[in-house]
Amino acid sequence: MTAIAITGASGRVGREAIQAFPDDALTLFSHSKSDDLETTTLEIEDRAAFAKVLTDEEVLVHLAANADPRAEWDELSGPNVEGVYNAFEAAAENGLERVVFASSNHAVNMGNTVSPIRPESTVGNPTAIRPDDPTAPDTYYGVTKVFGEAMGEYYADRTGIEVVSLRIGWLLSREELRAECADRDGAGERYARAMWLSPEDCRRVLRRAATCTLETSPVVAHGISRNADRFLSLTETMLATGYHPKDDSSDVIDDELDDRTGLETG
């Protein structure tokens, strides 16, 4: 059993993270209280408060952030810059063994967008991206995630703490994925197909990132499902963490199209 602290526990990814660790000792933090979830309120921009609450944990899964890819800098710099520094510093100060930092596909997506003002889009023939390729943020949000990855590398080298920077794709249910693809143009649908992360695969990759044995640190990992249309490479992530995704956006979307076609022609 591992003692794991999760920030941003009431968020979308945070709720999957809770389910990812059914047999571990969890300490849950959130920005505000939720009616359906028991968490401790934590303002991640408060450095002293952050350091004070991480006392008995072994691993920090740091998900708390402003997750809006279209947010302006002043909305991001507090939680996504100061908050990230506070997370790594609190972990190091309290002797934690590992930090899993929630990075994003937006840290590397600029080269494959159809336009700099359309971060959630993908060109027809995207370039494959491996974890050790140069970063290419597509938004201010992406810039803050590049910062977080750099902070993780710094703390891993400086303090010896293990760090996994997990570039999370687009967490959607199957129904939400179908709806997004139906509502988007070709570039938007390609992005959804490439970046989909199913709830089940989200739990799988978070568990591996937090508990697997690491041969090296820091590790940059790609948190997407095994989508046929992906351009984020999964090979390195699978080798480094043992993550084996099971779901594929094409199965979800194309099966739906096949079902509709059958109804129309039957």
Neighbours of 128 (CB within 10 A): 10
Whole-number mean pLDDT of the chain? 95
- Please tell me the pTM assigned to this model: 0.94
Percent of the chain with pLDDT over 70: 96
pLDDT mean over 184-190:
97
Cα 197 from Cα 184, distance rounded (Å): 18
pLDDT mean over 130-158:
98
Give residue 50's pLDDT band: very low, low, confident or very high (50, 70, 90).
Answer: very high
155 counts as catalytic: no
Question: What pLDDT, on a 0 to 100 scale, did the predictor assign at position 15?
Answer: 97
Torsion of CA 183, 175, 238, 104, to 10 degrees: 50
- Is residue 240's pLDDT more than 60? yes
As a three-state string, the secondary structure of 186-225 is HHHHHHHHHHEECHHHHHHHHHHHHHCCCCCCCEEEEECC
Question: What pLDDT, on a 0 to 100 scale, did the predictor assign at position 256?
Answer: 59
- Is residue 36's pLDDT more than 60? yes
Percent of the chain with pLDDT over 90: 92
- Is residue 34's pLDDT more than 50? yes
Catalytic residue among 85, 140, 141, 191: 141
Q: Which residues of 220-249 are buried (b: 16+ CB within 10 A; e: fewer)?
A: bbbbbbbbebbbbbbeebbebbebebebbb
Torsion of CA 191, 194, 196, 201, to 10 degrees: -160
Please provide the distance, in angstroms rounded to a whole number, between the alpha carbons at the two ends of the chain: 53
Q: Show the CA angle centred on residue 250, arms to residues 249 and 252, nearest 5°.
A: 65
* Residue 264 contacts residue 159 (beta carbons within 8 Å): no
List pLDDT tens digits, range 87-102: 999 999 999 999 999 9
- Is residue 171's pLDDT more than 80? yes
pLDDT mean over 225-248:
98
pLDDT mean over 182-203:
97
